[in-house]
Structure 1
Amino acid sequence: MGYNTRVNATTDRFPGELRDRRTARRISQLELAIRAGTTQRHVSYMERGRSHPGRAMVVRIAESLELSLRDRNKLLLAAGYAPAYAESRLDEPLLRPVRDALHSVLHGHMPYPAIVLRPYGEIVAANPALDVLTEGAAPHLLTPPVNMLRLMLHPDGMAARVRNLAQWGRHVTDNMRSHALRHPDPRLDAFIAELDGYLPAKPPPGADHLGFAVPLHLAAPEGELRLLTTLTSFATAVDVTLAELHLEAFLPADEATAEILRARAGTPRRRG
């Protein structure tokens, strides 16, 4: 089937899909028209079903709305066109080079924790250092598929060990809210509300308030760990599955934390 082939011309959901996605992102018809290289009148006609766009226009609109690859496929289908992006299973032979590369990255990050996550925090892979985060958590939170976000903030998970739970937990959910603004999804809104329910009231900023930079202060048998987090996404992926993955790595914020994590992994202390 060619890219320009209409797969279902009789069930055209595009006008409503376009209007809902545009308004959810608080983008005016004029702004969308400018981004997509068309006119406000054309956008208005498309939203009222008076003009049916070609496939190239649907792709430009999806890009202009900064939709995920999954949602770009949905918008194409709503307009009656075949999806543009493949969606492979992570265990397929086609993605074996990617799996091997991810495992190499996870191994190379030792002795510090690193995990690969699907949307909403489901763990796909992790290195052995993850045990410093999961130890002491209730079994029901460690039953696959494990959700890292729920594990981090749930009272039966890491929360009991997080010394700055109010600040750090709100940092996590605020980041999720920022993502939800760019990619509206009622399921994500419900999940954020669940996680917010696990957190204590956020105290007013003190003299040492660092804004968005909130290291994790985590109690461990060897002492308190201070951890920074980094997120890496597959920005140039053209497969839905890969585009939805991201790597979260935890880095020591001080030498004491680094030494504890190296000792746990049996890694010699670095010199120099």
Structure 2
Amino acid sequence: MSHSLDTERPDRGRSTNRRSSGELIRHWRQHRRLSQLELSVEVEVSTRHLSFIETGRSVPSREMVLRLAEYLEVPLRERNRLLLAAGHAPAYNESGLDAPELDSVKTALRQILAAHEPYPAVIVDRAWNIIDATSSIGLFANDVAPELTTPPMNAYRVSLHPEGMAPLIVNYPQWRAHLLHRLRRQAVITADPVVQALYDEVCAYPGGEPPTAAGPGAPAIPLQIRYGTEILSFVSTLATFGTAVDITLAEISIESFYPADKRTGQVLRELFGE
């Protein structure tokens, strides 16, 4: 697997903080592999007007910036940057998780974790730093080097570092390939340098052997870990808030692990209760 996104990552020769709104719009259009004609048809503006916006001959209105950003699926964080570059106020707040306006969100997240016990689940930010987790996630962090569990504990580092979970993962090449593919896709879609830096870091960890097949009839790639004399097997789901208009909320994900066989479920219930 390649450790570089040079053919797909954004131009880093010039900071996006110093780009004009037109340059940023052109960057996101090209990043989504769209022509000016294709984009202008979708957002119902003339190609001439879009060309004027991208070259700086016309400054886009607030409504036009938001319309273009919506179609181009620009992350909320970057939409604010587009608006500022065009001389408009940001449209999206970035609240801390301790902010009163996110109290209902915190309550919902706690309910999700409580309902998932005794099975493992983690709540992570955009860089996969763990915000909260079920008590059973300690099963994964068992025997992990202390420096990897120092806050902010990062799910990818803990999973793939040779002093983390890696030696305990039975199907490590297969699981590693799955995680790297997912992180690479996130880096490409979001063009987020923080995610890209994490991808570059974990790609450099040892263990790049070719992945094994999931096995005939397997519905999903499992996570198989050693726990004493047992081999526990999990499948996972990844959930996000689909209607978020706050940057912090939009960047939160919940990964939930479910037993892939009866024995794993039994062990989890014995260890962490119903």
Work out whether the TM-score is over 0.5.
yes
Q: Does 1:165 align with 2:165?
A: no
Provide the secondary structure at the position in 1 that maps to 2:96: coil
Residue of structure 2 aligned with 1:98, choices 87, 96, 105: 105
Residue of structure 1 aligned with 2:145, choices 111, 119, 138: 138
CA contact under 8 A between 2:225 and 2:231: conserved in structure 1? yes
1:1-272 superposed matches below 5 A: 13-203=20-210, 206=213, 208=215, 213-267=220-274
Tell me by how many angstroms 1:122 deviates.
0.5
Provide the secondary structure at the position in 1 that maps to 2:91: coil
Worse overlay, 24-33 or 71-80 = 24-33
Q: Which runs of 4+ in 1 moved over 4 A?
A: 204-207, 209-212
Q: What is the one-letter code of the residue matched to 1:226?
A: S
Tell me by how many angstroms 1:209 deviates.
6.3
CA contact under 8 A between 1:114 and 1:250: conserved in structure 2? yes
Which residue number corresponds to residue 10 of structure 2? Answer: none
CA contact under 8 A between 1:165 and 1:199: conserved in structure 2? no
The 3 A distance-change label for structure 1 pair 206 and 171 is closer
CA contact under 8 A between 1:159 and 1:165: conserved in structure 2? yes
CA contact under 8 A between 2:22 and 2:55: conserved in structure 1? yes
d(CA) in 2 for partners of 1:165 and 1:199? 11
Provide the secondary structure at the position in 2 that maps to 1:198: coil
d(CA) in 1 for partners of 2:31 and 2:216? 32
Provide the secondary structure at the position in 1 that maps to 2:127: helix
d(CA) in 2 for partners of 1:204 and 1:96? 42
Percent of aligned pairs sharing the same letter: 42
Q: What is the one-letter code of the residue matched to 2:228?
A: P
Provide the secondary structure at the position in 2 that maps to 1:60: helix
Tell me by how many angstroms 1:205 deviates.
5.3
Tell me by how many angstroms 1:181 deviates.
2.3
The 3 A distance-change label for structure 1 pair 104 and 157 is same
The 3 A distance-change label for structure 1 pair 156 and 12 is closer
Q: What is the one-letter code of the residue matched to 1:93?
A: P
Tell me by how many angstroms 1:199 deviates.
4.5
The 3 A distance-change label for structure 1 pair 101 and 207 is closer
The 3 A distance-change label for structure 1 pair 205 and 223 is closer
CA contact under 8 A between 1:222 and 1:260: conserved in structure 2? no
Equivalenced residue count is 257
Could you tell me which runs of 5 or more consecutive residues in structure 2 were left unpaired when the two chains were aligned: 1-17
CA deviations on 1:127-186 (whole Å, 9 max, x unpaired) are 101111111100000001111111111111110100111111110110111222221133
User: TM-score normalised to the size of structure 1?
Assistant: 0.89
Q: What is the one-letter code of the residue matched to 2:172?
A: L
Q: What is the one-letter code of the residue matched to 1:123?
A: I
Provide the secondary structure at the position in 1 that maps to 2:24: helix
Which residue number corresponds to residue 11 of structure 2? Answer: none
Q: What is the one-letter code of the residue matched to 1:47?
A: E
Could you tell me which runs of 5 or more consecutive residues in structure 1 were left unpaired when the two chains were aligned: 1-10, 268-272
Provide the secondary structure at the position in 2 that maps to 1:101: helix
Provide the secondary structure at the position in 2 that maps to 1:238: coil
The 3 A distance-change label for structure 1 pair 89 and 32 is same
